[in-house]
Amino acid sequence: MDLGDLAGRVRLRYLPGEHVPDGDVIEEMVRTVIDRLTIRMDADGSLPDAAGSIVVDAAMKALRLRGFEGSTSESAADGGSVSNSFIDDILSAYSADLDALRRMIHRSGIRFMGGRPRHAGHPRRRSR
Strand extents, DSSP E, the chain = none
pLDDT of residue 109: 56
Burial of 44 (0-12, 13-18, 19+ CB in 10 A): exposed
119 — pLDDT class (breaks 50, 70, 90): low
For 32-91, the pLDDT digits (tens) are 999 999 988 888 778 888 899 999 999 999 998 886 644 444 444 444 555 657 787 889
**In the chain, helix, strand, coil percent, each to 5?**
55, 0, 45
pLDDT of residue 46: 82
CB 22 within 8 A of CB 37: no
Name the residue among 16, 104, 13 with its Cα closest to residue 55.
13
CB 34 within 8 A of CB 55: yes
pLDDT of residue 28: 94
List the domain boundaries for the chain: 3-105
